Structure 1
Amino acid sequence: MRIIAYKKIFLSSLLLVVLAPKMKAQDQNITVSQDPKFEQLLNEKRKINTSLTVNDSYKIQIYSGGSENAKKTLNEFRQEFTTIDATIVFNTPNYKVWVGNFKTRIEAERNLTNIKDRYKNVLLIKPSR
């Protein structure tokens, strides 16, 4: 009985010694292919994130409602007021168009009077997130 056990151990060891040099690990060559539009989208997102410093600035809300009208309002605003930053923010269930990035309330109110002439139902807001 012992002889059979020794034979099994000997054969297992011999098999391991013979086959061990032929075993290989997986290759570590990895190729990642990325759509070029992904980098472009990432850059756009970075631009948007830098323009959304909401904690310490005043904004003027010029629209609240559906997505398509928000996009239309944003484009119209950007054509008319080229020096004021504008963005769309989604707060369930409405899309809101926020304009400006004013450090003081006085600065925001000055711009509010100009914007009120063109857009109805404008609000001066200081968002908190």
Structure 2
Amino acid sequence: MKTAFLTLVLLCTSGISIAQQGTVQVKQDRELSQLLNLYKKANESADFYTIQIGFGSYDKAQKLKSDAEVDFPGWYTKIIFDSPTYRVHVGKFSTKLEGERHFTEVRKKYPESLLLSPKN
């Protein structure tokens, strides 16, 4: 019994002592980073319907944003400063119908929410 236990301990510790260590480096083309930044800018300026769930101080807006990220995982959430308040927007919907469908869902949790149409 002792030899089996001793053999097991030796096997476990020998695996740890000869384990390999290393670092991982990711080399990425600069043009790919530029392309991703261009995509982000184009996506931010695109016209979408969105839902404003609330507004107020920066602290209140951050709390609303974190709550919305829990309530609607995977949805676009953003804090927008519109003097003198911070506004919290959720979702990016390409059509008004899609926006209205999600608006009814959001309105159950955030009754003061508004469906906003694209700027242009």
Q: What TM-score, normalized by structure 1, do the two folds share?
A: 0.58
Which amino acid letter does the alignment assign opposite residue 86 of structure 2? Answer: Y
Q: Which runs of 4+ in 1 moved over 4 A?
A: 46-51
Which amino acid letter does the alignment assign opposite residue 83 of structure 2? Answer: T
Quote the Cα distance in structure 2 between the aligned partners of 1:66 and 1:51: 26
- In the TM superposition, what is the alpha-carbon distance from 1:83 to its structure 2 partner? 2.3
- In the TM superposition, what is the alpha-carbon distance from 1:50 to its structure 2 partner? 5.6
Alpha-carbon distance change, 48 to 122 in structure 1, aligned in 2, over 3 angstroms: farther
2:87 is aligned to 96
1:58 is aligned to 49
Quote the Cα distance in structure 2 between the aligned partners of 1:99 and 1:63: 10
Alignment length (residue pairs): 84
Which amino acid letter does the alignment assign opposite residue 57 of structure 1? Answer: F
Alpha-carbon distance change, 71 to 48 in structure 1, aligned in 2, over 3 angstroms: farther
Quote the Cα distance in structure 2 between the aligned partners of 1:106 and 1:93: 31
Alpha-carbon distance change, 66 to 108 in structure 1, aligned in 2, over 3 angstroms: same
Quote the Cα distance in structure 2 between the aligned partners of 1:116 and 1:86: 16
> What CA deviation, in whole Å up to 9, does each residue of 1:41-69 have, x standing for no partner?
xxxxx59746523x521010001111100
SS in 1 for 2:79: strand
Quote the Cα distance in structure 2 between the aligned partners of 1:120 and 1:50: 31
Quote the Cα distance in structure 1 between the aligned partners of 2:104 and 2:58: 26
Q: Which runs of 5+ in 1 are unaligned?
A: 1-45
> What CA deviation, in whole Å up to 9, does each residue of 1:72-114 have, x standing for no partner?
0000100111121110000000100011110000000000011
Alpha-carbon distance change, 127 to 64 in structure 1, aligned in 2, over 3 angstroms: farther
Are 1:82 and 2:73 counterparts? yes
Q: What TM-score, normalized by structure 2, do the two folds share?
A: 0.62
Quote the Cα distance in structure 2 between the aligned partners of 1:62 and 1:97: 6
State the identity as a percent.
31
- After the TM superposition, which of the residue ranges 57-66 and 118-127 deviates more from structure 2? 118-127
What does 1:14-29 correspond to in 2, within 5 Å? Answer: none
1:27 is aligned to none
Larger Rg: 1
